[in-house]
Chains A and B, each alone.
Chain A
Amino acid sequence: MPSIDLPAPVGWNSEKATGRDNIAGPFRGECMNFRAQVAAIGAALLLGWTAASGALAADRPTAGEILRSWYYLMNELVRHTATYSPPVASRNFGYIGVTVFEAAVGGSDKLVSLAGQLQGLDSVPARQPTLEYDETIIISAALSDAVVYYFGNTGPTGQRSIKAAQTKWRELVIAGVPQDIVARSEAFGQEMAGTIHQWSLGDGGAEIINMGFPLEWELPKGEDKWVPTSLVRQQQLPLLPEWGNKRTFAVPNGATCATPGNPPYSTDPESQFYKEALEVYDTVKNATPEQIAIARFWSDDPMLSMTPPGHWVSIALQVAEHEDLPLDENVDLLARMGIAMADAFVGCWADKYDYNLLRPITYIKRVIDPKWEPILNTPPFPEYPSGHSTVSGAMEAVMTAFFGENYAFEDRTGSPDGRNPRTFASFRAAAEEAGISRLYGGIHFHSAIVDGLEQGRCIAAYTNALKTRK
């Protein structure tokens, strides 16, 4: 049978897909996709993970394994929940990260609560000091509820998946555990998830209407200003224009780490603005196969992928699994990543709607070549700074602080689009490639990428300054 040579253009909302065929696997360290993971869990169930009675089943998943399994499922749900644009995904990974972190604090002699360090989070539930808990059950119970809090809007297939996971994974994690410990641990995990969810409701980002596109919004006027670039009627107004006003986690507000601003708009061929546009134009016209592959690898389109936040979560899960991180380190990593990515999108979005800069496709068609087309579909919101760059800069900073400056890794967040896993010498290298991918794809100017990366690093410094360990 013939094969498809998937082409350009690809991109935001209607074109581009990523997938999970190559993501690292969950329970046993194999590299497998989420469906393979589920099959493995089912097989394990049949083989007797739950057969043990009276004592802990030998192959009962660890807390880290069940943690990553729920995260893999949630990353799948990011794609399949219509409200999940990148800012929304980042926000919710922030709250989910704090949920699992706080759920684990009481079971660790190394962790310190984030209560009092994050905006609006004054206190969290505590365990009863003299009673025994089970860490795996706490984590699973917390995430079993959190997945409903943050993915409750997913479609019927996602709902069915959630229910199946709740049922089947619970059977696995409670196998052989005394009933009183099961009940106490589940209650605590659920209480923590509920507390964090209540906290989340006041941040200004809990309710998303019309998939994030305002029903009314006055577009700023001016030749440098963003104009719609899509023929999708819903996208004639830009995505989440007030997201920059949302409550942050660790940084004071969205104005923290503001970018210097885009080069002054000009159509003069000698101007910096024109030169940056010409760079995009020439790069796309002469894109190498490697540049096209990079653009696609990091495309991470909403509704077709786990989005940029989910992509970085996927990287974190792969590295955590490779390192076989203990639970305390695993939740620390996921909490820091969630917090930093959430703050990064608030900061980025604050600047996007301060500058309201037009996209390369608009400028290039107007000034340079009316027939030019980018490789990626242009996202439906202002250009400067680059959101993928900002979040990638933030993730680079968090992961570098966690694993070191020259941590080489392979990112297997691939897809059947023919994009092979990519290897990186460091998290910085990955972040910079994610940033420049937007220029290769024709959807960002150079300044938006450089300034976005720097903004992300600045924002992440606040996350890295949080005290999570004794």
Chain B
Amino acid sequence: MHPVRTACLALAALAFAQPVLAQDLVVPRYADETATSGIATSYDGDWFYMVGGGVAAFDCNADGFADLLLPGGESKATLYRNTSTRGGPLTFEAQQSGLELDSVSGAYPADIDSDGITDLVVLRVGENVVMRGLGDCRFERANEAWGFAGGDDWSTAAAVTWEEAAAWPTVAIGNYIDRAEEISPWGSCTPNVLHRPGEAAGTFAAPLPLKPSYCALSMLFTDWNRSGTPSLRVSNDREYYEGGQEQMWTLAAGGEPALLTPADGWKVLRIWGMGIASTDLDGDGYPEYFLTSMADNKLQTLTDPVGGPRPDYKDIAYARGVTAHRPYFGDDLRPSTAWHAQFEDVNNDGLADLFVVKGNVDEMPDFAAHDPDNLLLQGADGKFVEHGEDAGIANNGVARGGALVDLNMDGQLDMVVTNRRSSAQVWRNTSTDLGHWIGLQVKQSAPNVDAIGGWLEVKRGDAVIRRELTIGGGHAGGQLGWVHFGLGSETTTSASVVWPDGSRSEWMDLKADGFYVLERDKDAAAFAPGS
């Protein structure tokens, strides 16, 4: 383990525990602004689109505001340029971008060629494509230029990392059922693949199958043990695999991927795995993982995090109040179906909250038809309490993908959700009583300009909030851009970056309620939206 990390984690272990907050739980208020937002893309199609529907949120025109790529399923995907003003209503304009592709199930933003312009890994029912960002929200297909073999599978998950010393990223693709199987698709999971850097600069090698594969619906490169080398967490849908389970692949630099096994401490877990959210909830320096499923959801934490942890996780979803197993609102008490999940601080109190997107697979009568999304707010005791209804986000759409992102750059996280066969929705966080906050972006020189694999640390009083910089997880879609931290009553903070190579920046003192770019070996630079 890197010495800086070791020291950091030792301190974290001593200091564990989120400091108890004096203030009461503040419930954020959300207003549904879909009707006036200009958003009108639905996730269409039948069986091939029962999964997927992920949202990509990223800035495609360098104005600081997050733009949105919404998948259309069998209809065309649409890129929406964010035309909101700071603190104003959420408005978007559909942008002719080159992303008007059909059969899109989701997308993840990543600056693959490290040119400072975000590119996209676009998941499809059919050939996946990497789309090179050209600036001004325009994109071009780059499969051929970058040697990316997009395959012809039913792709449902992706994650991106830069392996040690690599100048080019590694892209993991999760694949689902063999869609040619009609009467008996069970047990037909097609191989996930790793697109690692090729021998020629700026290209991918031929995809490396990750066998066994168990119908992945979410993947995340994550440094679960703070070794400095991310592993690949894969959440799999037990509905279709035979003998499968949740997986964690280790990726020693340049070496063959290897699955963690019981000999390592890994325990078999078989769920309808659909989405992954991660954050360091307990302040011990290691991420917790929330796994979405049906009728139950899991929150995993290391059983024994002290001193070179083994990958032995215990489920604390029930203890922490995040089982989210059935609707909390309305008369429909049938079990829930959960998809995208994301930890973010929606009320700026310094504690990560949990957003879970819900929706019936497709008229399954044993599961809730009216299955509102969850907004679970974390209290000072570490337990979460459902506040979706009073926050105003208890929609009854058949939702799939989602994102919590500050769409109008007012320091309060807004919300976007995709729905099957009906329009995506956006909610503006209209709260007036939230705590202080800070928005940060991390930059370094090429490669890996967004420092994926690094960690951001922000102080809130005596507490340190840690966020791993990742591309992946959620359900079929992700975000790249400002990383949001709530600060509660703190009007100033300090921030530090643990870079992907393990080195740490100095702590930088920053004023709350602003956006800053933390570029390696430079002072923090304030960013003013619209400037």
Contact = CB atoms under 8 A, between A and B. Distances in A.
Specify which of A156, A215, A232 lies most central, judged by the most chain B CB atoms within 10 Å of its CB. Answer: A232
A215 B335 CA distance: 11
Nearest to A301: B270
Interface string B361-377: 11111110000000000
B86 to A, nearest CB: 41
Contact of A157 (B185, B238, B243, B269): B185
Given A209-B334, A215-B333, A156 B318 contact: no
B181 interface: yes
A83 B296 contact: no
A211 interface: yes
A19 B183 contact: no
A41 B258 CA distance: 38
Interface of A, helix, strand, loop or mixed by DSSP = loop
A6 B245 contact: yes
Contacts, number: 146
A215 B184 CA distance: 34
Greatest chain B CB density within 10 A among A79, A157, A415 is at: A157
A37 B294 CA distance: 30
A164 interface: yes
B391 interface: no
Contacts of B261: 2, 4-5, 7
A9 B245 CA distance: 12
Contacts of A227: none
A160 to B, nearest CB: 6
Contacts of A14: 269-271, 296
Interface in A1-52: 1-2, 4-10, 14-17, 19-21, 33-35, 37-38, 41
Given A4-B261, A7-B267, A211-B335, A35 B318 contact: no
Contact of B183 (A155, A165, A233, A303): A165
Contacts of B363: 156
A73 B183 contact: yes
B144 interface: no
Interface string A121-161: 00000000000000000000000000000001101110011
A271 interface: no
A17 B271 CA distance: 11
A161 B185 CA distance: 8
Contacts of B212: 4
A415 B183 contact: no
Contacts of A417: 243
Contact of B270 (A38, A234, A304): A304
B200 interface: no
B240 to A, nearest CB: 8
Nearest to A209: B334
Nearest to B269: A14
Contacts of B269: 14-15
| Most chain B CB neighbours (cut-off 10 Å) among A2, A15, A20, A37 | A2
A153 B181 contact: no
Interface residues of A, number: 54
Main secondary structure of the interface of B (DSSP, over half): loop
B93 interface: no
Contacts of B183: 38, 41, 73, 161, 164-165, 168
Q: Which one of A1, A76, A164, A233 has the greatest number of beta carbons of chain B within 10 Å?
A: A233
A412 interface: no
B242 A415 contact: yes
A5 B47 CA distance: 33
B187 interface: yes
Nearest to B250: A2
A202 interface: no
A160 B335 CA distance: 22
A233 B323 contact: yes
Contacts of B362: 155-156
A270 to B, nearest CB: 36
A2 B259 contact: yes
A76 B186 contact: yes
B263 interface: yes
Given A4-B259, A19-B242, 19 more contacts: A2-B256, A5-B262, A5-B263, A6-B268, A14-B270, A15-B270, A21-B187, A34-B184, A38-B182, A83-B366, A152-B365, A155-B361, A157-B50, A157-B186, A164-B182, A209-B334, A233-B296, A233-B323, A233-B325
Closest 8 CB pairs of A and B: A416-B243, A7-B262, A19-B242, A233-B323, A156-B362, A82-B366, A38-B183, A35-B184
6 contacts: A73-B184, A82-B295, A155-B362, A161-B184, A168-B183, A417-B243
